Each structure stands twice: as C-alpha cells, then as structure tokens.
Amino acid sequence: MTQTSTERPGQNQSQRLGLGVLIDMPWGGGHLGRRGVGFEETPGGGDITPRVRAFLGRYGADFGYGALAFQPRSRAVARAADYVRAYDGFFEALPASAGRAFHQTELNMGTPERYDRAPVAEFTNELAARYGFLWVVEDLGIWSIRGYPLPYPLPPPLTEPGLEIATRNAAQAARLLDIPLHVEFPGFTEGGSFFVGRLDAFEYFARLADDADVWVTIDVGHVLSYQWLRGRTGPDMLDGVDRLPLARCRELHLSGCQIVNGKFRDLHHGVLLDEQIELTEYLLPLCPNLLGVSYEDPMYREDGRLVDKSVANYARLRTLVGAWHRGPAA
C-alpha cells in the first residue's frame, strides 16, 4: 500500500495510542437513554454536561486518546468560533497527554448526489488546527439526502456507480482535509438502514479504500451487523473479514450492540457483546497500522460510573487493548 500521494500533517503518526473513547455529543443535553450526555448551552458559549464531566474525570486516565462526534449546535452555518468554548471543555476534561480526534457527520461520503464538502472541511480544519486532531473519521454513509436529515446513516448504494461516486467523495474529502481522513465501514440492519445494490460490502470497502487511497476505521459492530445480514453468525462470523482493507485500518470502533428480534442492532448503549470482543481480538494482529481502539458511546450514570451491564466487557476490552498496546509493533 502506498500513502505517499496523500501524506498530510499527522499522517506519519505510527505510535500505538491504545484504548480511546469516542462520545457522540448532541447539544441540549442528549435525549432518551442518553439524557444528560452532550453539550449544554451556557452564557460562556457552551460546556459539557456534568454527567460527561463526571465520566471523563472518573475514567479519563484509561484512554490514550479522546474524540467527540460532531452534532450541530443549531441551524446556523457551522463556524468554529461557535463551538470552541464547549469543545475546550471536552478536551480539557481529558488528561493533557491524551491524543485528540474528531468524528464528522456531515462529509456525507456515501451520498450519490452532488454535495459541497468544502465548508465542512474548512470548519473541520479550523478545529483540527486548534486541537491538534490526529485524524477525522466518518462512517461511509448517506447522512442526509437532498438536504433531508436521516435518523441513521444509510449504507452507500452497493452498485458500481454507487462505489465510483463514493470513492470520488472519499478522495475529495481526504484532499480537502488538512489531517488524515479515516473512512469508517458503514453499519447495516440497525433498525432503519435499508440499502440498495448487490455488491459485497467488504470488497466494496476495500476497493474504495484502495482507489481513494485513504485510511479506514473498522467498526466491529458494523462488521458483525453485515455478517449477521449475510447469515454468517456463530462460528462463521469471521468469514470474509480478511477481505476488509486491514492494512489500511488505523482505528477500531466498538459501541454497545444487541440482538433484537433476530436482528443485529447497533444501539450505542455501552454494553459490548462477547462477539465484539472476540472479533476485536481476531483483528488486532491483522491490522499492522492500527493506532487505537475506540470505545464508542459508553453509558454511565450521573456520577460517571459505567452502567453495571457494561462493566464486564469494558474490562475485557481494556485488558485486550492494553496487551496489544504494550506488545511489539507489527
């Protein structure tokens, strides 16, 4: 694999960062089960909620890096100045030694329509310069279409033109960004993520990564959701996984998943399945350029303690990633 054509500041980052945390941070304090998780408006320009502060204070030392997922503060055109007070609060709540990264949600690389990514990239670059982000990640999905917001990003059209367009979109996004872009394998069958087309998603993703020459993020739950959709469960859950662009993989994501009514749901409720830990264990030695493993959207109480159901597999993940972090580089 060659990355020489796309080298950007931070691209040469090669030191393992270990376990990281990625938190979706809506404004207005979150909703439903995640009420109290996010940013809240303050006279000073916004801040993290006490619940997030309590979690980061309690567990922050576990993480070699921290990242937040972008959510718009309002319908105003996004300007970095309107976000930095709150983002300062988020990153200051993590240990000073922790690396920083950013999850975008508006690059919209899976959409087949014409879409102007320049303003999103400009906004992201301003934040990256302020916070020294190591990378920007976004799921290869359709996050909005014709300006309509989607409740969950749809997988890109799994057709040849769909692949060609998504590849162009990803290459364009990488070109516009000042820091490395990690394109994330999309989620499937999450209770509202229908898709069109017949191409194999693993091969699709590998072709896109090669042709766009980008780094990738592999969300373990997303991979399992696709395997589940294809009937590859139990002992078959690893079938075909090595067709993913593992040499380009910089980051693994794990968010809470659950089997609901026979379907694999990526619920982001903090409780990791045993299968997610097992697939992570399988992938770690196969990803020679991996920088870190992100625990995505942990679920915790007001006092910051992880909910009881999530504790056991979080501990397994921490132990597993800790051993990998201390181990010899590939």
Partner 1 sequence: MTDPGPESLNGDQLADLITRLLLDGDLRDRLASEGAAAVAANAAELECLETVDLEELDTAARRFRSGIWRLGREGGLSFTFPRSLRMLAEAGAEGPALLSAFIGSRQFGQFRLVPYAGQGLCVEECFASFLLNVAGNNASSVVRETITHELMIALFTALATEQPLSFVIGAPSIIRTDRGHAALCSYSPTALAAWGENGTEASAVPYAYFAVPGRVARGVVTSRVAAAFEAAPTAGGDAARRQLSRRGLW
Binding residues vs partner 1 (CB under 8 A):
74-77, 79, 106, 108, 111-117, 119-120, 142-152, 154, 157-165, 167, 189, 191-198, 211
Our CB check for partner 1 shows the closer of 157 and 292 to be 157
Our CB check for partner 1 shows the closer of 142 and 277 to be 142
Our CB check for partner 1 shows the closer of 105 and 294 to be 105
The Cα–Cα gap between 103 and 211 comes to 22
Minimal distance in Å, beta carbon 202 to partner 1?
Answer: 16
Helices 50-59 and 84-92: crossing angle, nearest 10°?
A: 30
Minimal distance in Å, beta carbon 79 to partner 1?
Answer: 8
E-assigned strands of 99-146?
Answer: 99-103, 136-139, 142-145
Minimal distance in Å, beta carbon 191 to partner 1?
Answer: 5
Our CB check for partner 1 shows the closer of 142 and 220 to be 142
Cα–Cα distances (Å) from 244 to 53, 200, 218, in that order, read: 36, 11, 9
Minimal distance in Å, beta carbon 6 to partner 1?
Answer: 18
Which 8-state DSSP code applies to residue 156? P
Cα–Cα distances (Å) from 92 to 42, 52, 216, in that order, read: 17, 12, 27
The Cα–Cα gap between 181 and 222 comes to 19
SS3 call for 131: helix
Our CB check for partner 1 shows the closer of 194 and 326 to be 194
Minimal distance in Å, beta carbon 144 to partner 1?
Answer: 4
Q: Which of 284, 280, 277, 318 is nearest to 64 (CA)?
A: 318
Minimal distance in Å, beta carbon 184 to partner 1?
Answer: 19
Our CB check for partner 1 shows the closer of 49 and 167 to be 167
